[in-house]
Structure 1
Amino acid sequence: MEKQHPKNLEKKWQGFWEKEGIYKLNPVGGSKSKKEMQGKQISNRVNFKKRGAIFSVDTPPPTVSGKMHLGHAFSYTQQDIIIRYHRMKGESIIFPFGTDDNGLPTERFVEKEKGVSALEMKREDFVKLCQQTLKEVKPAFIQNWKDIGMSCDFNLSYSTIDQNCQKISQRFFIDLYKMGRIYRKKAPILWCPQCQTAVAQAELADKMIDSVFYDISFSLKDSKKQITISTTRPELLPSCVAIFVHPQDKRYKNLIGKKVIVPIFGQMVSIKEDEKVDMEKGSGIVMCCTFGDVTDMEWYFTHHLPLIISISKDGKMSKTTGKFQGLTINQARVKIVDELKKEKRILAEKKIKHLVNTHERCNRAIEILPTWQWFIKILDKKEELLELGKKMNWYPEYMRYRYEHWIKNLKWDWCVSRQRFFGIPIPIWYCKKCKKVKLAKIKDLPVNPLGAQPKEKCSCGSAEFLPEKDVLDTWATSSLTPQIVESLIASRAIKKNFLPMSLRPQAHDIISTWLFYTVTRSYFHFGKIPWKDIMISGFVLDPKGEKMSKSKGNIIEPNKIIEKYGADSLRYWASGVSLGKNLRYQEKEIKNGHRTVTKIWNASRFTISHLKNFDIKNWSNKNKLYSLDQFLLSKLQKTIQKCEDSFKKYEFSSARKKTETFFWNDFCDNYLELVKWRVYSLKENDWRKKSAQFTLYYTLLTILKLFAPVLPFITEEIYQLYFRKKERQKSIHQTTFPKIDQKLIKEKRKFQGEKLMEILAEIRKEKSSKNLSQKAEIKKLTIYSKNKELLEIISLFGEDLKQTANIKEICFKQGYKKDNKFLF
């Protein structure tokens, strides 16, 4: 082995893993002929022989939007560590890799990348541009995941816009329609003027903005009296349809039922009562506009109010606003306030800060507009969805409460239609004559209604249809990832009991979207939970504890860390915090990872150099082990058990730290020093040397296996350099995770060994305090103790102590001496 550990191991071993099919589980051919499968995404379907229990993973498909960010590296490494552990436990791993590359996120990426606007291009041209751009960027994008050591089977791949996914998404849309679970209606919906599409409740973000609270006077009809209404949105005056007061507000009891004239725009509206009015906010009188917020929506339906739309889909004022038509919302606000001031209607104005709902994709403030949309009914199943949450194992457990909180606060059914272009078409036509919906045939899927017509006439006899122009929200497809993954598997035995899958790994910010929607779809279509276990990761923060973003300039790219320190060092950092917790990026932790990798290399180099003439196959006498070896191996069994327990509970950080403690303290700092005299000085046939060699072989291989899920590259490098010739498997990642060997557990030796380490530590400390080299000779060491067992320990380990600490003579005396510094 070289003195320095090799660099740039990522491409070397990733290439080896792919070439040798290390993460493919016994592929025996697909279910289609070569001719059928050529050029199709589904050519990646494979069949598996049964190896062990199936461990299936609903891998998060990352959104194709340029480069991997540090948050990706953080969360995907954590899931990969767990999956590598299960693979080493002998389970058959279904670990696919998909990309989420349809819908608004992809559109916005392409617009930015190519400097175009989808709204200014022909639809078909923009779709082609999206397809071409994805083709350009995806290879490098996927390589990012390979570089961090993801052990996915990249032959089990999918894209949420490929033909197979489109077919699945459209088929399950049709299923919901036939169930009566999906419906279309014109209703007030959350709308993004920037993206010009409907958005779901789960796609909202809160943003704190500067604003002004205006006190505006309204005139009562047939009276000189005025009332004051406080608002931050005077531009909604043209769509004011009612005034509300609280029924228990004594100040305004006499106003209920009277009419008010809206300033500037002149419409007459009634004063009504409703308990949702906050008597303490502003004047306690509220105007209802269609639509300023969710409360306006509720009042609109509850009180059967008229509808006046003052804001268009593009975020500009509509024709109902008269001379303000065509102005942006902000422009209209300024102009209307000026008009109100001229009429002396502004009584007061106060600068404030308040939260507004924005679209998470573009950060633009959301409006509420009535539009035709497709909805999946979910509000009537909130209790059932809450119960399903309790049937799954959450890691960490407290993340379940976020899921429950989201469901309890749901206000609307799930809007799944989007007014965009690069998405999966809704498989619907509308009869021109009777307006009836015409569903696509399952055998014809996937279909694009814009480019095809139904093959059968409508039930009314008409053969003329209008296509549905909207596309499905990307979550409508991503919520079917278990079904997409199942479609890639040819084995009928696996398909038979595919649900629930074993694991869904994901970040906590998409509990309300991807997780909730997948549970919903699994329940509606199959009546089952989609997974047994859910592991939820946290976020990556910058060194100051702030969220990383391009606007703040605090983004750190994983590839630069890998270039400097290697992927194992990055993975070490990612495994340094408990599951679900946020982690600050600290370069010192990356350096600690690099230091650990270097130490593993150096310890392996030393160990292997003393195993040249040792054949593990010829060593079978575990009962005849040197006392010190018994101590180390006994302690190693305890470490194996602790790591096993931690991994089972998704506590990868704990498993790594327990392995590190044993590796650094017990193996490197102590054992390797204590064993040197035997491997250097004793003859080849001396049983004490053979015992040392067995212990070195067994312990190093076990340490490498324990580290392998976290540090796959350096462990593979060392395994291939020495152990592959000795062991049966091609890769360390195909070996069995260490099992406890009861024959190697010696509780008494463990106690005795710990005492030896205490004595050795005190000797080292004493030498350091006197500025002596650790190699400095001690002519005579006298140990005073009342502990008779210590005499046995000295007799067992005396030679190890003498050789390691360079002691000529060791004496043991019972009792304590007055000037004794060390008491044992």
Structure 2
Amino acid sequence: MNVTPGSGIEAKSWDPLLEEHILRKWHNSKIYKFAVSDHKEKFVIDTPPPYPSGRPWHIGAATHYSQIDMIARTSRMNGYNVLFPVGIDRNGLPVEIYTEKKYKVSMRRMDREKFLELCAHALDELEAEMIQTMKALGMSAEFDNYYRTDSKEYRALTQGTFIALWKENLIYRANRPNNYCPECATTIADAEIIYENIPTKLNYLKFKVTETGKNIIVATTRPELLHACQAVIVNPSDKRYVTVIGMHAILPLFNRQVPIVGHNSAKPEFGSGVVMVCSYGDENDVRLFRELKLIEIVSLDTNGRTTPAAGDYANLTIKQARARVIEDLKKTGLLDKEENIMHRTPICERSKTPVEIISLEDYYLKQLAYVSLLKEAAGKVRFHPSMHKQILLNWLDSIAIDWPVTRRRFYGTEVPIWYCNDCEHPNLPEAGNYYKPWKEKPPFEKCTVCGCSEFTGEDRTFDTWMDSSITPLFIAKYTYDPLYYRSTYPTTIRPQGKDIVRTWLYYTMLRCFQLTRQLPWSDVWIMGYGLDEQGEKMSKSKGNVIDPLPIIQKYGADAFRFWGASESNLGYDFRCSEQKIANTKNFLSKIWNLGRFLSTFPVLAQEPEYLAATDKWIMSELCKLIDRCLEGYAEFNFFVPANSIREFTWNIFAAHYIEMVKARIYDSTDATAQISAVFTSHTCFSTILLLLAPICPFITDELWSKIYSPETIHAQGMPKSVNNYSEMAKYTKSIMEFNSTVWNRKKRTISQETGKSLSLKDSINNIDIPPDLASFKQDLMKMHNLIL
């Protein structure tokens, strides 16, 4: 057989500009199209719809989505029919905040319809850039049919699920203390709160005991809520105060009498050990008001200002009221002292401002009754990595109240309720259409209770997680296409960040379980945070967010993707560095150069009868690589194959094997040995391309099509590991050590002709090949130009 070198690949280097051409080729051939009628087993990805709340898009998020694409590509190569949908999450508070900043408007001070138009326009601009970045990443998703959570179809489904849960008596209306963000002007759920230690002052106030005329000192961080105090508590075991339990204390400045109660929640070691109970300083106040049956005083309004109940301190911001109260306490001698402390404070996750507790009427979704069921169900879900299941379990253990699902915002899915003008009974429509009660007449004529024909539409919207939590149902065409739904639900995997386990993950489990009595997926894949080069979390406020699109355009998607895969071990935080992304191009250059070299030799159809010892050795190492990669891919941990492929390709295959057989590949005088080397080299390189394809889809497809087949590499299967030469792996260490010894000897040897160190191509004598490497003697001699 003639294996004379040919022309091969002409381009001397990999050009990332080729990626755009390859993208068009993929799009035109529709190689990633999902067909519900396909007989292959379905693999459905509940892809997170990213939130276009401002630019730039986070480089960590882009890394996250590139790896979700790796999940899709891996699954196709494993023989699945993959549904890889894409959506854009376009509801809720961040959209409103961005719109207000962009157009310098106030949502509350303009026409609602006009504000919604501005929101949609702002979102369109952000969405276009986000979709551009996703495509540039090489994501093999359904871009021709991507969904939006603010579309009529999506919002109709959100409303339809609410109506279904209403009919099952899982929704109720209640007026109760709830988390409220004055900045966002809306109720928020526990899951939307983070806690930060903030420097504040612990104030020691003098309360006079009515029965004794003596003072007790009450320690509080919330003196501005003094007017809403309804009790003072001390710990029954605190000997300092046991005698005053059952007596009464007079509120300073307000001269109102409240009971002194013994209660274990008072901590003797904190402050003075005496605590005032007001409505509402914190969650403990809420519990104590219920337990002690205290009468609530509304202390703050929905603007975060003090109510008329505050008397002379009414209509002030919290900061203003606190300053005024402290000033007057000092003037009257009723402030004993102030102490600087760090206070654990609830913060709104979105606005980053302190959360207040205000009694408001809201609709609630029952969740407490489902906690134990969801704990049991969580045990059946496979987490990748398993350690992050604990985040969900911890959240389930912390749930104390039902989920308030209504918000006093504009850009969101409307609550589909009309209230009877006579009896005020809430009337709901039939599911299936998208309703806007705040501007539309109801699709019915009479109240179901009293028969009245006049209605007032609800003007509130849903918590955005009410929309986001039904993504598995929407992509599976729940209620719209029964055949499609049966084929695609439950979905297979939910990929997401660890920061939204307690929100998106949990709420999706809750809602889908309530509606379908099934878990929405069998697997959950959790990624860590993308940090800056100093290990700090990126945020727009810090100014350390890196825009991924210019990086991708500069270095190419494959460089970006390989960096992300090799840098981020699944579930762990990782640091983002443009320099590391730039360095990744060196590996792609190595891949391209290997492809150029091997493309000059024909690809042999089948394994020859004879394989040289060196070829058997690298085949044993190749099988080990396949095993490691398949293990990593099985867990969708791309850190494992990325680093394994680089290590094998760079430090074993290219550095040692190719150099050992290069002379034999070119030597046509011994056809048997030459064919052995050519076949093995192509086997190794084609396998490297297949293993690398989910991570670096562009360069692998280009090389595959030029060397091995006109059919795309992304229609191929994963390589199988059949190690017929496993005994040869024992030589790896000896081969690499011998080669390194020779290379180092040449570097230290000065040529008599040039006066410089020997080059690696120069001949050298007085080096003996170790006896255990005797079977590799001919290849080693030619590689190093040894003179024995």
Aligned to 1:552: 542
Cα pair 2:746 2:764 within 8 Å, conserved: no
Aligned to 2:22: 13
Aligned to 2:738: 759
Aligned to 2:664: 678
Aligned to 2:32: 23
**How far did 1:22 drift?**
2.2
Residue 802 (1) aligns with residue 788 (2): no
After alignment, is 486-495 or 707-716 more displaced? 486-495
The letter for the 1-side match of 2:715 is Q
**How far did 1:294 drift?**
0.4
Residue 309 (1) aligns with residue 301 (2): no
The letter for the 1-side match of 2:717 is T
- Rate the CA distance shift 1:635–1:262 in 2: closer, same or farther, 3 A: same
Q: Distance in 2 between matches of 1:656 and 1:243?
A: 62
The letter for the 1-side match of 2:713 is I
* Count of paired positions: 769
**How far did 1:780 drift?**
5.8
Alignment partner for residue 142 of structure 2, among 143, 153, 156?
153
SS in 1 for 2:522: strand
Cα pair 1:670 1:757 within 8 Å, conserved: yes
Residue 593 (1) aligns with residue 612 (2): no
Matches within 5 A, 1:291-302: 291-302=280-291
After alignment, is 169-178 or 668-677 more displaced? 668-677
After alignment, is 226-235 or 695-704 more displaced? 695-704
Aligned to 2:497: 507
Cα pair 2:157 2:432 within 8 Å, conserved: no
SS in 2 for 1:375: strand
Residue 127 (1) aligns with residue 110 (2): no
Alignment partner for residue 577 of structure 1, among 565, 568, 586?
568
Residue 233 (1) aligns with residue 214 (2): no
Unaligned runs of 5+ in 1: 27-47, 810-824
Q: Distance in 1 between matches of 2:738 and 2:786?
A: 13
**How far did 1:381 drift?**
2.2
Residue 632 (1) aligns with residue 618 (2): yes
| 1:223-266 CA-partner distances (Å, limit 9, x unpaired) | 53222111111110111111112223332233223222212223
Q: Distance in 1 between matches of 2:603 and 2:628?
A: 29
Aligned to 1:43: none
Cα pair 2:629 2:644 within 8 Å, conserved: yes
| 1:759-802 CA-partner distances (Å, limit 9, x unpaired) | 333222322232321111135643464xxxx3xx52x4332122
Q: Distance in 1 between matches of 2:516 and 2:119?
A: 34
After alignment, is 247-256 or 391-400 more displaced? 247-256
- Rate the CA distance shift 1:751–1:490 in 2: closer, same or farther, 3 A: farther
**How far did 1:470 drift?**
0.9
RMSD: 2.1
Aligned to 2:6: none
- Rate the CA distance shift 1:490–1:802 in 2: closer, same or farther, 3 A: farther
**How far did 1:721 drift?**
3.2
Aligned to 2:646: 660
The letter for the 1-side match of 2:703 is I
Q: Distance in 2 between matches of 1:807 and 1:135?
A: 67
Aligned to 1:498: 488
Matches within 5 A, 1:30-429: 48-65=36-53, 66-221=55-210, 223-429=212-418
Residue 746 (1) aligns with residue 737 (2): no
After alignment, is 488-497 or 139-148 more displaced? 488-497
The letter for the 2-side match of 1:19 is N
Cα pair 1:262 1:269 within 8 Å, conserved: yes
Aligned to 1:778: 764
The letter for the 2-side match of 1:21 is K
Q: Distance in 1 between matches of 2:278 and 2:531?
A: 41
Cα pair 1:67 1:141 within 8 Å, conserved: no
- Rate the CA distance shift 1:454–1:220 in 2: closer, same or farther, 3 A: farther
Aligned to 1:812: none
Q: Calculate the TM-score normalised by the size of structure 1.
A: 0.90
The letter for the 2-side match of 1:691 is S
Cα pair 2:211 2:247 within 8 Å, conserved: no
Cα pair 1:572 1:593 within 8 Å, conserved: yes
Alignment partner for residue 715 of structure 2, among 734, 742, 758?
734
The letter for the 1-side match of 2:464 is T
Q: Distance in 1 between matches of 2:294 and 2:443?
A: 40
After alignment, is 258-267 or 382-391 more displaced? 258-267
- Rate the CA distance shift 1:615–1:548 in 2: closer, same or farther, 3 A: closer
Q: Distance in 1 between matches of 2:459 and 2:258?
A: 37
Q: Distance in 2 between matches of 1:332 and 1:99?
A: 42
**How far did 1:752 drift?**
5.1
SS in 2 for 1:108: helix
Alignment partner for residue 684 of structure 2, among 699, 702, 706?
699
The letter for the 2-side match of 1:63 is Y
Cα pair 2:160 2:431 within 8 Å, conserved: yes
- Rate the CA distance shift 1:449–1:338 in 2: closer, same or farther, 3 A: closer
Q: Distance in 2 between matches of 1:257 and 1:450?
A: 55
After alignment, is 360-369 or 236-245 more displaced? 236-245
- Rate the CA distance shift 1:315–1:621 in 2: closer, same or farther, 3 A: closer
Q: Distance in 2 between matches of 1:553 and 1:622?
A: 60
**How far did 1:494 drift?**
4.9
- Rate the CA distance shift 1:367–1:490 in 2: closer, same or farther, 3 A: closer
Aligned to 2:7: none
Q: Distance in 2 between matches of 1:51 and 1:772?
A: 62
Aligned to 1:542: 532
Residue 2 (1) aligns with residue 20 (2): no
**How far did 1:371 drift?**
0.4
Cα pair 2:206 2:218 within 8 Å, conserved: yes
Q: Distance in 1 between matches of 2:75 and 2:222?
A: 56
Q: Distance in 2 between matches of 1:739 and 1:493?
A: 35
Aligned to 1:467: 457
**How far did 1:532 drift?**
0.9
Q: Distance in 2 between matches of 1:137 and 1:544?
A: 28
| 1:17-68 CA-partner distances (Å, limit 9, x unpaired) | 2222122134xxxxxxxxxxxxxxxxxxxxx332522111110111012332
- Rate the CA distance shift 1:749–1:336 in 2: closer, same or farther, 3 A: closer
Cα pair 2:769 2:777 within 8 Å, conserved: no
- Rate the CA distance shift 1:749–1:248 in 2: closer, same or farther, 3 A: closer
SS in 2 for 1:155: helix
SS in 2 for 1:466: strand
Q: Distance in 1 between matches of 2:123 and 2:485?
A: 31
The letter for the 2-side match of 1:606 is F
Q: Distance in 2 between matches of 1:259 and 1:475?
A: 46
Aligned to 1:648: 634
Aligned to 1:485: 475
Q: Distance in 2 between matches of 1:561 and 1:596?
A: 17
| 1:430-466 CA-partner distances (Å, limit 9, x unpaired) | 1121121211112444454532224131131101112
Q: Distance in 1 between matches of 2:376 and 2:745?
A: 63
Aligned to 1:605: 596
The letter for the 1-side match of 2:332 is E
Cα pair 2:513 2:519 within 8 Å, conserved: yes
The letter for the 2-side match of 1:526 is T
After alignment, is 175-184 or 322-331 more displaced? 322-331
Alignment partner for residue 430 of structure 1, among 407, 415, 419?
419
Q: Distance in 2 between matches of 1:481 and 1:201?
A: 21
**How far did 1:493 drift?**
5.1
SS in 2 for 1:4: coil
The letter for the 1-side match of 2:507 is Y
Q: Distance in 2 between matches of 1:113 and 1:134?
A: 11
Cα pair 2:622 2:684 within 8 Å, conserved: yes
Q: Distance in 2 between matches of 1:783 and 1:228?
A: 88
| 1:104-161 CA-partner distances (Å, limit 9, x unpaired) | 1211121122222211111111111111222233112211112222221213421111
After alignment, is 554-563 or 458-467 more displaced? 554-563
Q: Distance in 1 between matches of 2:653 and 2:647?
A: 9
